[in-house]
Amino acid sequence: MTVQTKPAADMRAVMLPPDHPPVRTGRIGVLLMNLGTPEGTTYWPMRAYLKEFLSDRRVIETSRWLWWPLLNLVILTTRPSRKGKDYASVWNNERDEGPLKTITRSQTEQLAARLTAEHGERLVFDWAMRYGLPDVKSRLEALLAQGCDRILMVPLYPQYAAPTSATACDQAFRALMTMRWQPAVRVAPPYHDDPAYIKALADSMRASLAKLDFDPEVILCSFHGMPKDYLLKGDPYHCHCAKTWRLLREELGYSRERFRMTFQSRFGPDEWLKPYTDETVKSLASSGVKSMAIVAPGFSADCLETLEELDVENREIFLHNGGQQFAYLPCLNDSPEGVDAIEAVVRRELMGWV
């Protein structure tokens, strides 16, 4: 005898009484979450973005009585205009948005196209920014409105850090605390050592290097920095970065001398994770290195810290100190390799749900 089966969502609909109000349920949401971007490059949008970002206790752990006057009286007065000019240099003028939005949207759309072809409308995909728009709370609510009673949240940070992965989850959990009917949730773990991620990085680097008209003497593997104090308090970020660097170096067959790990984007007077990218670039050029490249595997998408800080600022440092040939190798972004890595993580974390 053949038994006809129906998806869970259909079974629930059949079991409802005839006079029951419509209930959308039985679907699974996937929410990709990235850092964020200002809504514009002028003073007030930049100020709003920086205020939200730099007010986060996960990002700045300095005592509030020290930090608040500095933030509100100095930083938010002077920094928005200066950073606005930097953002303007990498802005997507066609869409009037930062590159992080453009790329994260494309990653989500490509992932949706791949998995809905296999699972149909049971899976729903969306994306959100921890700071700025689209905000995490509204996107969670949108997934619930579409019938998602299970949601997989995917922080797009390969290496875990409290100021990135944890604060994205904090924002989601704050939203869940306001909901009477909460969905079941999962959080994808960091994927710093995932074979699919390492392979994607290596393939992307090989392709980028093949396009150059020179062979870099040194390649810097530059990760976003973090105050050293955060490491001493137990944050695993440095260890995750070091493992990514080691696995990628082994996959590419490079020596430690040619493929070096550094940290960028330090802020304030405190000591941060070393060695610093900008100081290393200057030292290499001054010591006689004539050609180099930089790759930033800690970023899932190119943004201000890669397009302006690495490709512009560090290029100038290298060339002004004796270097001759410089290249920035793009992030995985929404390339096929980049979406492959995200897809591998999502497929693994959806096991048991689909």
pLDDT band of 23, cuts 50, 70, 90: low
Domains and CATH numbers, the chain: 195-329 (3.40.50.1400)
**Predicted local confidence at residue 272, as pLDDT:** 97
CA distance 341 to 196: 5
Q: Is the pLDDT of residue 329 over 60?
A: yes
CA distance 88 to 32: 25
Q: Which of 133, 139, 135, 48 is nearest to 96 (CA)?
A: 133
In the annotated binding site, the residues are 224, 305
**Predicted local confidence at residue 2, as pLDDT:** 39
Q: Is the pLDDT of residue 16 over 70?
A: no
- Mean pLDDT for 75-89 is 95
- The helix (run of H) or strand (run of E) holding residue 264 is strand 259-264
Q: What is the mean pLDDT of the chain?
A: 93
pLDDT band of 268, cuts 50, 70, 90: confident
Q: Is the pLDDT of residue 19 over 90?
A: no
CA distance 306 to 301: 9
In the annotated binding site for Fe(2+), the residues are 224, 305
**Predicted local confidence at residue 269, as pLDDT:** 84
**Predicted local confidence at residue 12, as pLDDT:** 45
pLDDT band of 13, cuts 50, 70, 90: very low
Largest CA distance in the chain: 80
What 3-state class would DSSP assign to 37?
coil
**For residue range 146-155, what is the model confidence (pLDDT) as tens digits?**
999 999 999 9
Phi, psi of 295 (to 5 degrees): -125, 150
Sheet arrangement for strand 27-36? 123-131, 27-36, 148-155, 184-187
**Predicted local confidence at residue 24, as pLDDT:** 73
Task: Report the b/e string of 91-114 with b at 16+ CB within 10 A.
Answer: beeeeebbbbbbbbbbbbebbbeb
By the 8 A CB rule, do 251 and 198 touch?
A: yes
- Mean pLDDT for 336-346 is 97
- Mean pLDDT for 245-249 is 98
Q: Is the pLDDT of residue 228 over 50?
A: yes
Phi, psi of 25 (to 5 degrees): -155, 175
The model's pTM is 0.91
Phi, psi of 254 (to 5 degrees): -95, 155
Q: Is the pLDDT of residue 10 over 60?
A: no
Q: Is the pLDDT of residue 141 over 70?
A: yes
pLDDT band of 4, cuts 50, 70, 90: very low
- Mean pLDDT for 137-163 is 97
Top pLDDT among 118 and 4 is at 118
**For residue range 176-221, what is the model confidence (pLDDT) as tens digits?**
999 999 999 999 999 999 999 999 999 999 999 999 999 999 999 9
Q: Is the pLDDT of residue 79 over 70?
A: yes
**Predicted local confidence at residue 189, as pLDDT:** 97
Provide the percentage of residues in the chain whose pLDDT is more than 90: 89
Average the pLDDT over each of 3-12, 266-275, 283-292 and give the range with the smallest value: 3-12
By the 8 A CB rule, do 155 and 187 touch?
A: yes
Q: Is the pLDDT of residue 143 over 90?
A: yes
By the 8 A CB rule, do 196 and 341 touch?
A: yes
**Predicted local confidence at residue 120, as pLDDT:** 87
The alpha carbon of residue 16 and the mean position of all alpha carbons in its chain are separated, in whole angstroms, by 42
Q: Which of 158, 222, 221 is nearest to 195 (CA)?
A: 158
Q: Is the pLDDT of residue 7 over 60?
A: no
Percent helix / strand / coil, the chain, rounded to 5: 50, 15, 35
CA distance 157 to 215: 29
